[in-house]
Amino acid sequence: MAEDLERVKKRVEELREEIRKHDYYYYVLNQPIISDAEYDRLFRELQELEEKYPELITPDSPTQRVGAPPAEEFAPVHHAIPMLSLQNCFTQEEFLEWDRRVRRLLGGERPVYVCEPKLDGLSVELMYEDGVFTVGSTRGDGYVGEDVTRNLRTIRQLPLKLLPLDGRVPRLLEVRGEVYMEKEAFRRLNREREERGEPPFANPRNAAAGSLRQLDPSITAGRPLKLFCYALGRVEGLEIKTQEELLTLLARLGFPVNPLWRRCEGPEEVFEFYRELLERRGDLPYEADGCVVKVNDFSQRELLGEVSRAPRWAIAFKFPAEEATTRVLDIVVQVGRTGALTPVAILEPVEVSGVTVSRATLHNEDEVKRKDVRIGDWVVVRRAGEVIPEVVKSIPERRTGKEREFRMPARCPACGGPVVRPPGEVAHRCENLSCPARIKESIRHFASRRAADIEGLGEKLVDQLVEKGLVRRISDLYRLTKEELAALERMGEKSAQNLLEQLERSKGMSLARFIYALGIRYVGEHTAEVLAERFGSLEELANASYEELVEIPEIGPRIAQSIVDFFASEDNRRLIAELAALGIAPRSEAKPPEEKPLSGKTFVFTGRLSGLSREEARRLVESRGGRVASSVSRKVDYVVVGEEPGSKLARARELGIPILSEREFRELLGG
């Protein structure tokens, strides 16, 4: 018996040490080395052992605290009411067990619940005195957080002054919420970081945490952070009785509140909310890893109380993990439409958010080296919504010494042609224009939903068309006959006719879609729309000079050069001529120029404006024909300076760009 207790004691200490290490990586360094699901398993094992052997519980156990110590760079903020963590459940059975416990503690009374999406962000507390925002802090260890007031001020959704209720504001109000970054903004931020040669963030939560904990608030201001509020700390001057009332009141005071919350009368309604949210998960603009279920009535919450680490009146009903740990069986190379070679990890199949994942992108050789991913490694794999699964990081601690490093091949795996890495680029490329892999990817891109949108031209059909020699370039698609298509595997006359009709319909695609479909390097959907609006026809765009292109605010030197190079290619010009001869006549989307007071003028804002928000300032500029840029360059006409300006002011002075105060900006707008 003593031996068993000693064995359990040893395991408990191992778990505590492991969890402390991961807490440090997650909360202090913002660099988690295991998935959330694996961390949850470790924590639950420790909880179960401590529940079974309560004599082993110590004050310094991770189950007796909330997070990790605050970073030393920020002043400490003591939370008057601790910011506790939440218990987790992962199945309906576990939730029903929690529900039974709640009802038992309430003397058999059945509570009403309020369900809200559980965001994967950074918890913060916002203090308002007499309606004015005074202090903002992170959760830290639940008792002491970090003072990030100046950084929080840069989040546009955060009210600096509360809206009055019946002409009054509470004397003291501590509001709690979550700072997060939307998925598309996260992807855009990572693309920008990669272009600057900076390492990408692992996930939106890390990006939000890293952005909010910047020592320079101007860096935070340039990051697309958002906020949802949902809880309270101390309150003076308000009486709130339920979570429903709180969420309604927060919105009236000016706080952003997630509109997806719902009142639920019992477990079945909770399960219905959970299922609906899980189905919508991929379409949500932000990362959500479950739903939070809270007892609605605050008086019932007081009866339920809390345990050392979490309230008894709330629980996080977690979704299936979007991150998982698995092993890399091999690393292969795929060839894209531009000839770029992309390393892809072949994985030991693992379930991630309900989908079995067996492949994940590694982006490029530099990324493989940066993450130090080797064949045979254990890795963390991430899948968010419809995003292609990617390897987040390797786990060197689990290596055995048998792992092998990856090397980019010297010859193209699809055609055997030489592989080169152009100076200044991260991607290796096959330069053979006749490479079958490049041709297939070009056709798939051209036919994709946001380009020509040719329904029925799927991956396997494209493979057949190229491998049988029926299609050697995009223009060949429009020369296909019904007989040729009907003779292909899994194609009949009806399918062939449907595809021909889709091809005919695509001939009238918009100019923006056609520009995007051509697959010009660095030209995405938005850039294609800008080019279509600016030039009005493909002929005008094809004849545009580098100087004309870089004058367009959204077009930088790299994109401009890529466009010029594309249309300078004799092969590309011949392809466009062939498409025109076959009847592809993209619709012009050019708009007649409208002369406005600020037409052609570009503004940049830095610092906090006292009389209006950044969004209001942007709308004022755009309504008068101008535009607002996020960074200072020689294309900028004015830099508007508010309180506590950042590094953009120094850059403006360096370039000799006119600097306007807020008063001068208003005068320029005409009051």
**Residue, of 65 and 407, whose pLDDT is higher:** 407
pLDDT at 113 over 80: yes
- 335 is a domain residue: yes
Percent of the chain with pLDDT over 70: 92
Q: Report the alpha-carbon distance of residue 667 to residue 671 in Å, rounded.
A: 5
Q: What is the pLDDT of residues 639-654, one digit of tens each?
A: 999 887 777 888 888 8
Question: Can you give the CATH number for the domain in which 25 is found?
Answer: 1.10.287.610
**Cα 39 from Cα 50, distance rounded (Å):** 17
Q: What is the pLDDT of residues 584-608, one digit of tens each?
A: 978 765 555 566 788 888 888 888 7
Residue 259 lies in a domain: yes
Confidence of residue 59 (pLDDT cuts 50, 70, 90): low
Residues 234 and 157 in one domain: yes
The mean pLDDT value for 511-516 works out to 92
Q: State the residue range of the domain holding 615.
A: 602-669
Q: How confident is the model at residue 356 (pLDDT cuts 50, 70, 90)?
A: confident
pLDDT value of residue 1: 57
Q: End of a domain among 301, 318, 335?
A: 318
Q: Residues 476, 382: one domain? A: no
Instruction: List the CATH number of the domain containing 92.
Output: 3.30.470.30
Indicate the DSSP class of residue 201: P
Between CA 225 and CA 222 the distance in angstroms is 9
Cα 169 to chain centroid, rounded: 35
Residue 481 and residue 364 share a domain = no
Name the range with the highest mean pLDDT among 2-11, 208-217, 409-418: 409-418
What's the 3-state SS for 319-357?
CCCCEEEEEEEEEEEEECCCCEEEEEEEEEEEEECCEEE
Across 94-117, average pLDDT: 95
- One domain, residues 294 and 333: no
Residue 386 pLDDT greater than 80, yes or no: no
- Containing H/E element for 138? strand 132-138
Same domain for 398 and 303? Answer: no
Asked which of 425, 448, 471 is the last residue of a domain, the reply is 425
Catalytic residue among 118, 183, 371, 635: 118
Residues 86 and 206 reside in one and the same domain: yes
Same domain, 470 and 376: no
What was the pLDDT predicted at 103? 95
pLDDT at 95 exceeding the cut of 90: yes
Domain assignment of residue 586, yes or no: no
pLDDT at 23: 67
* 506/596: higher pLDDT: 506
| pTM (predicted TM-score) | 0.51
Q: Above 70 in pLDDT, residue 25?
A: no
* Selection from 14-18, 100-104, 196-200, 623-627 with the highest mean pLDDT: 100-104
pLDDT at 385: 47
Same domain, 412 and 287: no
Query: Is residue 594 one of the residues assigned to a domain?
Result: no
Identify whether 118 is a catalytic site residue: yes
Does residue 30 form part of some domain? yes
CATH number (domain holding residue 338) = 2.40.50.140
What is the number of domains present in the chain?
5
122 and 243 inside one domain: yes
**Domain harbouring 461, CATH code:** 1.10.150.20
Last residue of a domain, one of 400, 425, 450: 425
Q: Residue 559 domain-assigned?
A: yes
Average pLDDT, the chain: 86
Query: Mind listing the pLDDT tens digit for each residue in 257-308?
Result: 999 999 999 999 999 999 999 988 878 889 898 999 999 999 999 999 887 5
How far CA 596 is from CA of 378, 535, 567, in Å, comes to 59, 20, 33
Same domain, 89 and 41: no
pLDDT in tens, 212-252: 887 777 777 778 899 999 999 999 988 899 999 999 999 88
Q: Does residue 595 fall inside a structural domain? A: no
Which residues touch 549 (CB under 8 Å, ≥6 apart)?
Answer: 555, 559, 560, 563, 564
| 505 and 636 part of one domain | no
Mean pLDDT of 195-223: 76
Tell me the per-residue pLDDT of 552-592, one tens digit each, with 9 for 90 and over: 866 878 889 989 999 998 888 999 999 999 999 787 655 55
Average pLDDT, integer, range 490-505:
92
pLDDT value of residue 28: 43
Q: Which of 202, 243, 198 is nearest to 219 (CA)?
A: 198
Task: Return d(Cα 245, Cα 297) in angstroms, integer.
Answer: 10
**Block residue for tokens 């590309």:** 572
Specify whether 182 is located in the same domain as 250: yes
Average pLDDT over residues 42-56: 86
Helix (H) / strand (E) containing 622: helix 614-623
More confident residue, 126 or 569: 126
Asked which of 17-26, 145-154, 413-422, 516-525 is least confident by mean pLDDT, the reply is 17-26
pLDDT at site 67: 47
CATH number at 645 reads 3.40.50.10190
Backbone phi, psi, residue 186, to 5°: -65, -45
Phi, psi of 179, rounded to the nearest 5 degrees: -90, 130
Residue 542 has pLDDT above 50, yes or no: yes
Answer with the residue of higher pLDDT: 629 or 401: 401
* pLDDT range class, residue 353, cuts 50, 70, 90: low
Band of residue 543 on the pLDDT scale cut at 50, 70, 90: very high
Within-domain flag for 467: yes
